[in-house]
Structure 1
Amino acid sequence: MMESQKFAIVDLETTGHSPASGDRMIQIAIVIMKDWCIEKTFTSFIHPGKPIPIFIQDLTNITDADVANALPFEDHANEIYELLQDAIFVAHNTDFDLSFLQSEFMRAGLPKWRGKKIDTVELSKILFPTSLSYKLGDLAADLDIPLDNAHRADDDAKACAYLLKKCWEELLSLPLTTVEQLHKKSFQLKTNISQLLFDALQIKRKSVEQEKEIIYYNQLALKKRPVKTKDWEKPIQFPKTVDEKMVLFQQRIPSFEERPGQFQMMDAIWEHLNNKSELMIEASTGIGKTIGYLLPSVIYAKQNNKKVCISTYTTHLLEQLLASELPKVEKILGCNVNVTLLKGKQNYVDVAKFEQLLNLRDLSYDETLTILQVLVWLSKTTTGDLTELNVSGGGQLFIDKIRKNNESSKQQQSFDYYERAIQESEQADLIITNHAMLLADIVRNEPIFDSIDGWIIDEAHQFIQAAVNRDETIFTFTNWKYVFGQIGLSTDEQLFSKFQAVALKNQLVPIQLFHQLERKYMRLVNLFDKAMQEIVFQMKGFKPKGKGETKQSAFLSELVLDQGLMKSVSHAMQNWIELAERIVEFFKGDIEQVPKQHKIVVEQWEYWIREYKIKVAEWDEVFLQQSTEYSSWIEIDVRNLPGSIRVIKKPIDITNTIQHLLNPIREKAAIIWTSGSLSVPNNERFIADQLGINRNVPLLTLQAPTQYYKGAQAYIVTDMPDIQAVSQTDFIESVALAITRIVRATNGRCFVLFTSQDMLRKTVELIQESELLHDYMLFAQGVTNGSRMRLLKAFQKFSHSVLFGTNSFWEGVDVPGESLSSVIVVRLPFSSPDEPTFKAKSLLIQQQGRNAFTELSLPEAILRFKQGFGRLIRSSQDKGVFIVLDRRIESKSYGVEFLKSLPKISIQKLPLQDMVLEVEHWYNNKDEERKQVDENDK
């Protein structure tokens, strides 16, 4: 029994990762745990026989002086070996600690240690599937495990021991069926977690606890849905005068400061909701925009027993609305707000699909791990929203298979999270959704949207991008090859051979049909490969832009593709689909007689037919339907052909799409567009025109009082090289030097914003190689793994951190308070002239005899610039520096317009050296002020 099992929890600090290259141990700690109590601890410094590298000293706080009098590993080897006997070896990443230790035992002349091992990284991923990070320090913070000195073996080993215990407690809290399912699948894991699961099972089977919060879908345990009811409430009146508003706010929030802009916004929204009219509001940070629209919306919905729908662009903003802003409104109004979060179908798990895939054999390690994570998550989630999960890259492919889509079968409401959300929204005062869902569901005609009386479209400038994304098609060679690979031939281990075996076993389908189907499949794959070779051949005429550059792109219209060949791929696919469907028909009559594991194969076969139908539509869309309203281009990387082929098709102008969607709504409901940036100097209707908003819809501009920005400083560095005058290498060296000096002056907490992914990567690589910021956490979009949101959350967790991002990072990112001290703008955020969407739009404007720079390029760049500054000051207490390294802001005539778009703050122009001194001075003052505030709070 595991209860009296002995665990040896081990942590090592070393001079590096490779004992073979001479890396050695500098500290070891072993915690012995029995019956979930710590019995004894062994910890010792070890002399590595060589100096400790500086960055390891920084990481671990272990210096050469600490190990000067320590003994080498050989002197401790026997004692350590003895401690590990009859124990299960536990570490946070056993691959590293155990293999390092085995090398050291070998060097000391001891035999290889043999025994079971448990990796707490692997275990935590399974039992805490929604954790943002599986680093020991992050898990310790999340689970309230004390860890004062991370990267010191003694503290780390103890924290790892408590983590193991937390995992055990978590395991015992899961439903019995979940633990059974976990145990069944756990034999493919890398470490002996199955042993732990088996022991938990023995205990769970003996206990007779009722699982009140759980419902069952066949063999899956799901968390019961919390019941929401609509209570009767006393009517709420809208506070019409300033005095009424002050009374309402101050009753509930004693420290409330009046913001005239916020009150103006509330009045305007109240008026337009009641008149069912349209309005645009540009509200700078500091207005209190979210409360400004939530309050009138809630009062309107409750007074009229109607619904108001709020749509935002980023998931982050959705979460913020629910977690912090709505509770404030409930507090101010003294009532509960019935709110439902609605996302697009594909965000929700399809429980039936997951249950089918549970029975798959021959799963990869990533798939197995992800299945275990989903099993645990289903017993906890109330939303079924897959974005809650933190899975590996390989796991993401599995997650895509269990998403709900339009083909998903209707399930009983209690197991269908999407239907649940729709049903809950019928009781709601507010529906919160995102632009993508809104655009998709207006088209899909979800009846829920008929009962909405008012629409608040927040981050309105992003509605354009959402409409583009909805209409874009992306073809990738690798994705198509993956889809072909799933079917395979009769000689493979893939689905075709399994399906054929099932059909023949049940004697339902003549074998000739399978021979025929296989021939059609081979013809299809053959034609597809020919079409790809044709693209590669055509692209040879287009040279990469820069020296040493391996990526190329060309508009589809610039290539002379063989249309006959493109059509034949489409026909071949249609032919395969028709026969594949005909074969399924043979099963239909006798499906009840087919054994369960065979049924799963048939269902998978049907799933892939649906996928092939989506694919053939995509092929026709990309290669066979050309239209002047879309731009289509091909991207390749010459180092990887045909593997890197991508074709992207995007709409050039989405004004008509948006009008088509929203005109029916305009007839019966209010539409309020709001954002921090809807206008630019000299062109206040830049966004309105792209959204196709009528010229007579008013634009209300609200700016926070100057006092709000008192903590902001802007600097323009005057001695940066001109990118045109020096080589790219020299320019990047100057940028890297400037960044490292600024980061050191502000102690991190810094965003660095680039316009080119290539320059970002080269700058980050140079900084890493130089080790000038080795004691900082560097997160870089496109370099560090993870989505934009995950990078942002990781960045916020560390005080010494720097986040490098490109244009897409400039928008919709919110880092309040101390988490951000400086924003560095490396280049003014103009779109690259070669970026195909931008190029297509520019060409269109030029063909109409207009100026693409002043009408498109400049206003877009100014909007992004405003967005970049907007990241910095998110409250009147925030302090931050905004630093521009691009000389064009001074040397070009349009530079003034960028500066005009900033609030009225102090802007200083200085050489780098002086600017860094100023920033250090400013930052030290900031620290002093903070200490003063802390003292006063005490």
Structure 2
Amino acid sequence: MDNRTYAVVDLETTGHSPSKGDRIIQIAIVFVEDGTIVRKYSSFVNPLREIPVFIQQLTSITHREVSAAPSFEEIALTVSEMLQGTVFVAHNTDFDLAFLQSEFKRCQVPAWSGKKIDTVELAKILFPSSTSYRLQDLAEDLDIILPTAHRADDDAEATAYLLLTALAKLRTLPAETLNLLHRRSFSLKSNISTLIHEALSDVRKTGNVNNLPLFRGIPYRQPSYPNRIAVARCSFPFTDDEKVKKLSKVFPAFEWRESQLRFMDVVWKMLTTKEEIVAEVPTGIGKTIGYLLPAVIHSLQTGKPVIISTFTNHLVDKILVDEVGKIQEMLEISCTAVVLKGKEQYISLSKFEELLRITDESYDETFTILQILVWLTQTETGDLTELNVSGGGQLFIDRIRKRSNQLREDEKDADYHERMIKACSTANLIITNHSLLVADFQQSRKKFHLFSGLIIDEAHQFIHSASKVHETVFSYMNWKYIMGQLGSDADGQLLHRMMKLHRKLGTGGSAVFRQLNDAYEQFVSAFDNVAMLLTTRKFPKRNSNLGNRIVFRLNEVSGLEQSFLRVAEKMTEYIYLAERVRNELHMTEQSMSANEHAFIAEWDYWIRELKIKAAQWVTVFLEREEENYTVWVEKDNRSLPGSLTVIKTPVDGSRIMKEFISAVKDEQVGLVWTSGTMTVKDDERFVTRQLGIADTVPIKAFEAPLHFYNKSSIFIVEDMPSIQHVSQSAYIEAVADAVIQTVIATGGRLFVLFTSQDMLRKTYELILESELLNDYALIAQGVSSGSRMKLLKSFRQFDKSVLFGTNSFWEGVDVPGEALTAVIIVRLPFSSPDEVVFKAKADRLTASGANSFSELALPEAIIRFRQGFGRLIRSSNDRGYFIILDRRIETKSYGRRFLNALPNVPIKRVSLERMVNELEDCYNETECKRKQDD
């Protein structure tokens, strides 16, 4: 540790703008010297103005705490003198330091000057896989004590410990990593370069070298996997007593669930007899453990892996992190599990190393490189989704994804994806996603072979994944980005540097570059013409539920075939010339520097990307294949042409599914299809027909225990307006009112589920304008920033929260216990008639003489409805309310089918007022019981 004094500062203020009269209400400074906290200073501050209600709620600082405190004018000089000569540290120096300097100026005392360290910037570099960089989240991840967030004294002390933790982490990094970090650290916004330099000096002095292998000078962690699969004498627990004994080892509050035990028996039978079954297993009975236990035992006995496939990469990771360790504890036997994703999910170290040699970087690119250098010393998977990078950093991440299976000799040991593939042959469990599984079974060189069983979880989504594998997407913004990498001749850009290299080596004249520029301009002109035609073409009035979003089939546009063909021709001409410019350098490669080789590799990379785009253009715009595919255009009137997207996808995935099932059967292994929604009453085989599963394959539907839903209720609100007889705005007003009253009655912790993003946004905005839920955290998908998982994490973090979600929140999210008290269904989840893939499927059914509503629209909606209910009750201890606002469930003949699809739960048909009164009574009773228990 150096001999500097670090002053770790945190402020609580009435707002963000001192120039508009906002003032400090609490200040805390923690002084750190030689790796130790040596003293602290803390004071409330009287702002001499009102503290906004929101700030009082956030900080728990009220007028009572500050009324007897000094004003900042009274302590400004003392604070200024304490800070002089120190390194200023804060968790977001842009706020704390700027606010403090402004207050020093107002009070006419000396401003602080010196070096500063932003612990947000520091934490992002040193903990690149953290899901959040808020102080309270980092404190939780790093086991730093933070008694009360948003109190300056606690926040400053937690930030001081964060600084010390980061400094200690720096000294664990290899000298080569520190050296690479230091070279790029001078462009950071705070003086982190000093910390890195001191850590590098210490590591070199003490010889504290972390001996990691190097790939072309870059340290990286190389995971070790066993050379052979774990095999053990391990018997399946056939009796219920044996099963319960094992389950009780890892679940102290284990609850007997007959269906879970019988599901285990079914999975075991399928794996050992190499048969196939469809198993519907309701949420909350322990489905994942139910199939993992027999799968691991079967693998240990046979010495071959069992494959587990689920819908998303998030669910894949969740199985590995949350469940596999429990199985090992139950069996008291070590087993191995490997997660395998598509190659694009993994880093290409060779591409990363090439980009390190190119010095012309933006701040976002430099920052992302620093994060990756640290991450490479700790990741055992090379899975790029582990990184938490900025939006600009994500563009850099996309450039270092693995694209090719061809590896140079020095890459073979360092390629994470290749190591994961090898590890699959020695793993007991291979955990993957549906898309990769489908794609792999269509390859000649399969990653998945010599396995002993296949379990497909979330199986009702498998057809969606199979279609996605064969989907092609054209994105205007993505195309423009790639075109810009090659076409710009601005100083420092690829084309400009290619011209300079040719001049230096004397390998080409200006004529070929004039040809290249002319070809590029013609290509861009043809491309922009198509974009203009697709964005300006007028269409009949569309469904108002889409808002500013416009969707139409490409075959509704006529007369553009020649324009599409011209883009393909001009692009081919340009690619030919770009490759010719590159090929003329072949003879001089021996005389090139390492940086010039890296630049040439970058040119080659973007040419390959453009070739991929050329193939996609032909697929989307020139190969219509209207019998088997539908092609549609999406655009948003608020951002044209940037929002322009064209998507081509199969109408019917059954052919793909039949090919997949046939390939699996060739392996002669047990196959289990499972999900919480594998059947629809009155049409038991709807899902299996969609999946292409033979009618001879049995369906086994398990039931939750009779008492499982004892604490749940279903409310149908009878005085809501009919969605079919009022305007959308009138219905949204009624929805907003119902949501507000329900939230206030229950204290929050609600999901509000929509089928339309436009209706979600308008309802959310109306509730915000009302200011009636200002005390609640309102989180809206598509409005609030962040991924689905980040939104869900935010929802869980607040006691008083409401999450507004669309399609992806109807299923696949798990919020157990009191974190979720109610789910509000705004509309029955029918697919929009204007949704292009649905319409194509419906048209095909109609053409064959079938009823598209009863054979497609209704069963799909019922499945989604059941999934929505499944979000609510995850265990028999959960109390929950399922609230239906759409009166069609009562007024339409098909409404009864929705209700029959739900578990046997009391259904209450009530007015909004009566429901709110009942919820208030239940909520107050629950709160009283909780206080008694506490």
* Alignment TM-score > 0.5, same fold: yes
| 1:86-165 to 2 correspondences below 5 Å | 86-110=85-109, 112-165=111-164
- Asked if the contact 1:230/1:338 (under 8 Å) is kept, the reply is no
In the alignment, structure 1 residue 637 sits paired with structure 2 residue 636: yes
- In structure 2, what is the equivalent of residue 314 of structure 1? 312
- In structure 1, what is the equivalent of residue 356 of structure 2? 358
Provide Cα deviations, 1:6-55, integer angstroms capped at 9, x if missing partner. 22222222222222322222222222222233333332222323211111
- Asked if the contact 1:225/1:414 (under 8 Å) is kept, the reply is no
What is the number of equivalent residue pairs in this alignment?
A: 931
Amino acid at match of 1:684: E
Structure 1 Cα separation of the partners of residues 179 and 250 of structure 2: 50
- Asked if the contact 1:120/1:163 (under 8 Å) is kept, the reply is yes
Select 1:569's aligned residue among 555, 562, 567.
Answer: 567
In structure 2, relative to structure 1, the CA distance for the partners of 1:249 and 1:187 (3 Å cut) is closer
- In structure 2, what is the equivalent of residue 63 of structure 1? 62
TM-score with structure 1 length normalisation? 0.95
| 1:547-696 to 2 correspondences below 5 Å | 549-628=547-626, 629-667=628-666, 668-696=668-696
Structure 1 Cα separation of the partners of residues 406 and 780 of structure 2: 37
- In structure 2, what is the equivalent of residue 462 of structure 1? 461
Select 2:342's aligned residue among 326, 341, 344.
Answer: 344
How far off is 1:275 after superposition? 3.3
In structure 2, relative to structure 1, the CA distance for the partners of 1:44 and 1:727 (3 Å cut) is farther
In the alignment, structure 1 residue 853 sits paired with structure 2 residue 861: no
Amino acid at match of 1:604: E
| 1:508-519 to 2 correspondences below 5 Å | 508-519=507-518
| 1:247-266 to 2 correspondences below 5 Å | 256-266=254-264
Amino acid at match of 1:760: L
- In structure 1, what is the equivalent of residue 875 of structure 2? 875
| 1:328-407 to 2 correspondences below 5 Å | 328-406=326-404
Structure 2 Cα separation of the partners of residues 173 and 439 of structure 1: 42
Answer with 597-606 or 292-301: which moved more. Answer: 292-301
In the alignment, structure 1 residue 448 sits paired with structure 2 residue 427: no
How far off is 1:370 after superposition? 1.2
How far off is 1:230 after superposition? 4.3
Structure 2 Cα separation of the partners of residues 630 and 23 of structure 1: 59
Structure 1 Cα separation of the partners of residues 603 and 624 of structure 2: 32
- In structure 2, what is the equivalent of residue 303 of structure 1? 301
Q: Which runs of 5+ in 2 are unaligned?
A: none
Provide Cα deviations, 1:290-310, integer angstroms capped at 9, x if missing partner. 222222222322222222211
Structure 1 Cα separation of the partners of residues 470 and 73 of structure 2: 66
| 1:182-221 to 2 correspondences below 5 Å | 182-212=181-211, 214-221=212-219
Structure 2 Cα separation of the partners of residues 246 and 42 of structure 1: 56
- Asked if the contact 2:117/2:191 (under 8 Å) is kept, the reply is yes
How far off is 1:106 after superposition? 2.5
Amino acid at match of 1:894: Y
Structure 2 Cα separation of the partners of residues 39 and 541 of structure 1: 71
How far off is 1:673 after superposition? 0.8
Structure 1 Cα separation of the partners of residues 508 and 74 of structure 2: 72
- In structure 2, what is the equivalent of residue 21 of structure 1? 20
In structure 2, relative to structure 1, the CA distance for the partners of 1:825 and 1:109 (3 Å cut) is same
Structure 2 Cα separation of the partners of residues 374 and 548 of structure 1: 40
| 1:789-804 to 2 correspondences below 5 Å | 789-804=789-804
Structure 2 Cα separation of the partners of residues 638 and 334 of structure 1: 59
Answer with 177-186 or 771-780: which moved more. Answer: 771-780
In the alignment, structure 1 residue 758 sits paired with structure 2 residue 758: yes
Structure 1 Cα separation of the partners of residues 214 and 888 of structure 2: 63
How far off is 1:904 after superposition? 0.9
Partner SS state of residue 213, structure 2: strand
- In structure 2, what is the equivalent of residue 288 of structure 1? 286
How far off is 1:892 after superposition? 2.0
- Asked if the contact 1:222/1:379 (under 8 Å) is kept, the reply is yes
How far off is 1:273 after superposition? 2.4
Partner SS state of residue 585, structure 2: helix
Structure 2 Cα separation of the partners of residues 901 and 266 of structure 1: 25
How far off is 1:791 after superposition? 1.9
Partner SS state of residue 297, structure 1: helix
Structure 2 Cα separation of the partners of residues 66 and 826 of structure 1: 44
Amino acid at match of 2:140: A
- In structure 2, what is the equivalent of residue 326 of structure 1? 324
In structure 2, relative to structure 1, the CA distance for the partners of 1:154 and 1:414 (3 Å cut) is same
Partner SS state of residue 205, structure 1: helix
Structure 2 Cα separation of the partners of residues 914 and 312 of structure 1: 42
Structure 2 Cα separation of the partners of residues 565 and 250 of structure 1: 67
- In structure 2, what is the equivalent of residue 843 of structure 1? 843
Amino acid at match of 1:889: I
Amino acid at match of 2:83: L
Amino acid at match of 1:784: S
In structure 2, relative to structure 1, the CA distance for the partners of 1:202 and 1:857 (3 Å cut) is same
- In structure 1, what is the equivalent of residue 719 of structure 2? 719
- Asked if the contact 1:489/1:518 (under 8 Å) is kept, the reply is no
- In structure 1, what is the equivalent of residue 700 of structure 2? 700
Provide Cα deviations, 1:454-479, integer angstroms capped at 9, x if missing partner. 21111001111111221222212111
Partner SS state of residue 449, structure 2: helix
How far off is 1:358 after superposition? 1.8
Answer with 251-260 or 27-36: which moved more. Answer: 251-260
- Asked if the contact 1:342/1:422 (under 8 Å) is kept, the reply is yes
In structure 2, relative to structure 1, the CA distance for the partners of 1:83 and 1:251 (3 Å cut) is closer
Structure 2 Cα separation of the partners of residues 904 and 54 of structure 1: 44
Structure 2 Cα separation of the partners of residues 248 and 196 of structure 1: 50
In structure 2, relative to structure 1, the CA distance for the partners of 1:233 and 1:717 (3 Å cut) is same
Structure 1 Cα separation of the partners of residues 329 and 32 of structure 2: 47
Structure 2 Cα separation of the partners of residues 364 and 674 of structure 1: 47
Answer with 443-452 or 542-551: which moved more. Answer: 542-551
- Asked if the contact 1:544/1:551 (under 8 Å) is kept, the reply is no
Structure 1 Cα separation of the partners of residues 390 and 772 of structure 2: 30
Structure 2 Cα separation of the partners of residues 314 and 688 of structure 1: 20
Structure 2 Cα separation of the partners of residues 62 and 407 of structure 1: 59
In the alignment, structure 1 residue 809 sits paired with structure 2 residue 809: yes
Amino acid at match of 2:870: G
Amino acid at match of 1:624: L
- Asked if the contact 1:29/1:41 (under 8 Å) is kept, the reply is yes
In structure 2, relative to structure 1, the CA distance for the partners of 1:255 and 1:775 (3 Å cut) is closer
- Asked if the contact 2:44/2:69 (under 8 Å) is kept, the reply is yes
Structure 2 Cα separation of the partners of residues 531 and 813 of structure 1: 40
Structure 2 Cα separation of the partners of residues 315 and 901 of structure 1: 29
Answer with 509-518 or 10-19: which moved more. Answer: 509-518
Structure 2 Cα separation of the partners of residues 664 and 468 of structure 1: 17
- Asked if the contact 2:229/2:428 (under 8 Å) is kept, the reply is no
How far off is 1:850 after superposition? 1.8
Amino acid at match of 2:217: Q
Provide Cα deviations, 1:794-830, integer angstroms capped at 9, x if missing partner. 3223333322210122121122233322222222211
Structure 2 Cα separation of the partners of residues 176 and 735 of structure 1: 60
Structure 2 Cα separation of the partners of residues 142 and 833 of structure 1: 46
- Asked if the contact 1:149/1:155 (under 8 Å) is kept, the reply is yes
Partner SS state of residue 700, structure 2: strand
Partner SS state of residue 441, structure 2: helix
- In structure 1, what is the equivalent of residue 224 of structure 2? 226
How far off is 1:593 after superposition? 2.7
How far off is 1:862 after superposition? 1.0
Partner SS state of residue 238, structure 1: coil
How far off is 1:246 after superposition? 5.3
TM-score with structure 2 length normalisation? 0.95
Structure 2 Cα separation of the partners of residues 68 and 253 of structure 1: 51
- Asked if the contact 2:712/2:879 (under 8 Å) is kept, the reply is yes
Amino acid at match of 1:886: D
Answer with 811-820 or 234-243: which moved more. Answer: 234-243
- In structure 1, what is the equivalent of residue 276 of structure 2? 278
Partner SS state of residue 360, structure 1: coil
